[in-house]
Chain A
Amino acid sequence: MTQSRLIFSRREILAGFSAIAGSSVIGAPAVLAQAKPQVVVIGGGAGGLTAAKYIAKDSEGKIAVTLVEENVNYQTCFHSNLYLGGFRDYASILHSYDKVGSNGVQMIRSRATVIDRDKKEVVLRDGRRLRYDRVVVSPGIDLKYDSVPGWSQAAEEAMPHGWKPGAQTRLLRRRLDAVPNGGTIVMIAPPNPYRCPPGPYERVSMMAHVLKTSGKTRSKIFIIDPKETFSKQGLFQEGWEKHYKGMVEWLGPKVHDGLKSVDPKSGTVVTGFETYKNAALVNVIPAQMAGSIARDSGLANASGFCPINPETMQSAIDKLVYVLGDAAIAGDMPKSAFSANSQAKVAAMAIRAELTGSRVFPARYTNTCWSLLAPDDTVKVGGAFEPRPDKITSTVPFVSKTGESADLRKETQAENMGWYGGIIADMFT
């Protein structure tokens, strides 16, 4: 059977099914297996892993799903700030892909390097090619190493970003633990759009918590931010004032007059108004863009992210491609694991409908982002979203209020921990 013959129309597949059902030909399952529509999912994170599971499970074997992921374990970026702050151990944010197969997903441990959209094949690092009827692209972000003058990939050890999971997460923790009393921490916050909008500010809260509880109260954290405002700003600033008075200083662009350069060797940060010398830790969170496979496959626009159809998460550039999570331009939805998980379910429904004719329901999207300020003091922001012709649009937004009771904040933290357990169970089992 030739490669091109493997591509069946839905009618051919259905005809194949009924022909097989009506006879008792030995070896029919092999024919069936080849006739199955093929979905390849690139990236085993909150978007890709969720999509792979729901397509495989809900299609009940009618669609062959292959997940391409190079890592043996998945380290969640979400709650990595809680690891930094000592609220979780590292093992608790690390998850094995061992059970992914139980939902009928075939996993290939490799890196997908490019999508040959003309041939409808995903090309793997080792040269293998996977034919697809639909491909789901969920590669997360890449960092723009050239977006901070003086910083580079070679400098990510000296000035860690901690914005992609793994070694960087642990490096940042070690570097934080090594900050002496009186030492300065400088965070270079990222410009929009970026992964996890409240993330930098929750991270600062966790850094301040570690400094405070280890008696290093003469230390100080400066945030050099290119943005005029940031997510949950009033809530964070209230929390810093309450828990870490005098330890955190946020500087917007009007105050610092622009980041001019950093020097990784000397730990120097130069802004228009100030030079910070000998910083004990400089945490550079650079500008971001869609993971390379999305850009190299021609799925991104000039913004570096991928335009999608708000109804389905289908790429606006290629109808056989779906882009999920941080790599997508998802309108009002923030780049978060919760968003990616929500988008994956919409895409899974759309893909099943296209390939098997299953029932279609209106797309709904949801997101909540919880942020821990201090022990048992957690705030949240979120909402419901729906597709509109121009973009995924926020319909029912909510955010925690300043001055909430300690009991409510504690409850919100319990919810945060519960959500983590929930999304992990949803992705991995």
Chain B
Amino acid sequence: MQRLSVALRLAGTVVPVLMLSTSAHSSGGDRELGKHLSSECVTCHQISGRVTAGIPAIIGLPEDQFIAMMNGYRDKLRDNQVMQTIAVKFKDDEISALAAYFGSLKRR
């Protein structure tokens, strides 16, 4: 899955340039795309990493872990209607982008 998503991104026209500049320590997700997409997530998941009640923190995670979780929701292996609904809309490159962006954030 991971290899496939990288191959897809390399085939794209816009992403690779950005990817090269951010990929040194990551899976190569487009952080600018990730930042944009993240606005959908932070209605519930606090960007500071703070946790209120039943919504977990999603920043600073290893990218592989983040991607595996999102794929779990997308494939309905993980069980939460909200997250399944969110995840099913994302393509592989978008999940990688989110993983790269959220993975780069530190707890405040």
Which residue numbers of A lie inside 8 Å of B, CB to CB? 54, 338, 341-342, 345, 349, 359, 361, 364, 366, 368, 380, 382-384, 395-398, 400, 411, 413-423, 425-426, 429
How many angstroms between the C-alpha atoms of A383 and B81 in the bound complex? Answer: 9
B 5-19 binary contact with A (CB < 8 Å = 1; else 0):
000000000000000
- 21 pairs across A/B with beta carbons < 8 Å? A342-B43, A345-B40, A359-B36, A361-B37, A364-B37, A382-B82, A384-B89, A398-B81, A400-B81, A414-B53, A414-B54, A417-B53, A418-B52, A419-B44, A422-B52, A422-B55, A423-B43, A423-B44, A425-B42, A425-B47, A426-B42
Q: Which residues from chain A contact B51 at a C-beta distance below 8 Å?
A: 418
On whether the beta carbons of A345 and B81 are closer than 8 Å, the reply is: no
Q: Which residues from chain B contact A416 at a C-beta distance below 8 Å?
A: 53-54
Interface centre among B81, B85, B86 (most CB of A within 10 A): B81
Q: Which residues from chain B contact A368 at a C-beta distance below 8 Å?
A: 82
How many angstroms between the C-alpha atoms of A383 and B86 in the bound complex? Answer: 8
Tell me the smallest distance from the CB of A93 to a CB of chain B, in Å: 14
Chain B residues within 8 Å of chain A by Cβ, number: 27
> B46 within 8 Å of A by Cβ?
yes
Q: Which residues from chain A contact B88 at a C-beta distance below 8 Å?
A: 384, 396
> B22 within 8 Å of A by Cβ?
no
> B69 within 8 Å of A by Cβ?
no
Tell me the smallest distance from the CB of B82 to a CB of chain A, in Å: 5
CB closest chain-B residue, reference A396? B85
Q: Which residues from chain B contact A395 at a C-beta distance below 8 Å?
A: 89
Known: A418-B54, A418-B55. A366 touches B81 (CB 8 A): no
On whether the beta carbons of B40 and A429 are closer than 8 Å, the reply is: no
Q: Which residues from chain A contact B65 at a C-beta distance below 8 Å?
A: none
On whether the beta carbons of A382 and B81 are closer than 8 Å, the reply is: yes
> B64 within 8 Å of A by Cβ?
no
Contact with B46, one of A349, A398, A421 (Cβ below 8 angstroms): A421
Contact with A364, one of B47, B80, B89 (Cβ below 8 angstroms): B89
Which residue numbers of B lie inside 8 Å of A, CB to CB? 32-33, 36-37, 39-40, 42-48, 50-55, 80-82, 84-86, 88-89
Contact with A421, one of B32, B39, B55, B89 (Cβ below 8 angstroms): B55
Known: A361-B33, A400-B81, A429-B48. A418 touches B39 (CB 8 A): no
How many angstroms between the C-alpha atoms of A189 and B45 in the bound complex? Answer: 33
Interface centre among A413, A414, A418, A420 (most CB of B within 10 A): A418
How many angstroms between the C-alpha atoms of A106 and B33 in the bound complex? Answer: 28
On whether the beta carbons of A349 and B85 are closer than 8 Å, the reply is: no
On whether the beta carbons of B39 and A345 are closer than 8 Å, the reply is: yes
On whether the beta carbons of A415 and B47 are closer than 8 Å, the reply is: no
Q: Which residues from chain A contact B36 at a C-beta distance below 8 Å?
A: 349, 359, 361
On whether the beta carbons of B45 and A422 are closer than 8 Å, the reply is: yes
Q: Which residues from chain B contact A414 at a C-beta distance below 8 Å?
A: 53-54
Q: Which residues from chain A contact B39 at a C-beta distance below 8 Å?
A: 54, 345
Known: A54-B39, A361-B33, A422-B43. A396 touches B89 (CB 8 A): yes
How many angstroms between the C-alpha atoms of A422 and B45 in the bound complex? Answer: 6
On whether the beta carbons of A417 and B54 are closer than 8 Å, the reply is: yes
Q: Which residues from chain A contact B86 at a C-beta distance below 8 Å?
A: 366, 384
